[in-house]
């Protein structure tokens, strides 16, 4: 026979925090309980040990594959319409603005898109925000006779094949 313990007064909140993926330390701090209490309730309800939370930047590094030329394929989570996302503290964050901020040290203005030859590329240095694209257009107009840098057909094919092999969408 198992003895039935009276539930901890904060058990519902603790369970909620556990299902939110919080660590024992976070739960102890937020709900003013002991870490031992959080650990016990975690074990009783068979929640896995909480791993230290990865930052969005760490998740970006974990879920990208570097391709020749410095381009990157996203192999992580996507929305239903295929947009790369990172789940952080229960929220879905778009990957491109994160990549943009990693490269530029500031959040982007407007939409972020790949500015290289590969629309799927998420490499931080290949992302451009609305301001960058406007500046790029203005520069192109000024240097209208300078042709765009176009990858050779072979390189483009190799990269597209790598992309199709790696991406999950």
Interface contacts to Zn ion, rule CB under 5 A: 71, 116, 121, 123, 126
| Closer to Zn ion by Cβ: residue 31 or 117 | 117
Query: Which residues have a Cβ under 8 Å from the Cβ of 43 and sit 6 or more positions away?
Result: none
Burial of 166 (0-12, 13-18, 19+ CB in 10 A): middle
- Nearest approach in angstroms of CB 125 to Zn ion is 8
Question: Shortest distance, CB of residue 157 to Zn ion, whole angstroms?
Answer: 15
Helix (H, G, I), strand (E, B) or coil at 137: helix
Residue 61 phi, psi (nearest 5): -65, -40
What is the smallest separation between the CB atom of 149 and Zn ion, expressed in angstroms? 12
CB of 35 to Zn ion, least distance (A): 44
Q: Indicate the residue among 47 and 163 with the shorter CB distance to Zn ion.
A: 163
CB of 116 to Zn ion, least distance (A): 3
Closer Cβ to Zn ion, 54 or 156, answer by number: 156
Measured from the CB atom, is 50 or 123 closer to Zn ion?
123
Is 24 or 127 the residue whose CB approaches Zn ion more closely?
127
Using CA atoms, how far apart are residues 146 and 36, in angstroms rounded to an integer?
67
- Return phi, psi of residue 14, to 5°: -65, -45
Q: Which residues, in sequence order, are CB contacts of 66 under 8 Å at separation 6+? A: 72, 123
Residue 155 DSSP SS3: helix
């Amino acid at each position: 026979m198992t003895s039935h313990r009276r539930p901890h007064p904060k058990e519902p909140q603790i369970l909620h925090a556990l299902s939110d993926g919080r660590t024992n330390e976070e739960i102890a701090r937020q709900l003013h309980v002991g870490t031992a209490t959080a650990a016990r309730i975690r074990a009783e309800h068979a929640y896995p040990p909480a791993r230290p939370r990865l930052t969005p930047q760490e998740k970006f590094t974990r879920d990208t594959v570097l391709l020749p030329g410095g381009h990157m394929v996203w192999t992580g989570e996507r929305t239903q319409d295929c947009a790369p996302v990172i789940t952080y503290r229960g929220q879905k964050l778009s990957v491109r603005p994160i990549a943009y901020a990693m490269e530029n040290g500031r959040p982007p203005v407007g939409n972020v898109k790949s500015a290289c030859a590969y629309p799927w590329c998420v490499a931080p240095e290949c992302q451009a925000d609305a301001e960058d694209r406007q500046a790029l257009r203005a520069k192109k107009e000024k240097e209208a006779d300078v042709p765009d840098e176009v990858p050779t057909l072979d390189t483009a094919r190799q990269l597209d094949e790598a992309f199709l092999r790696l991406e999950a969408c």
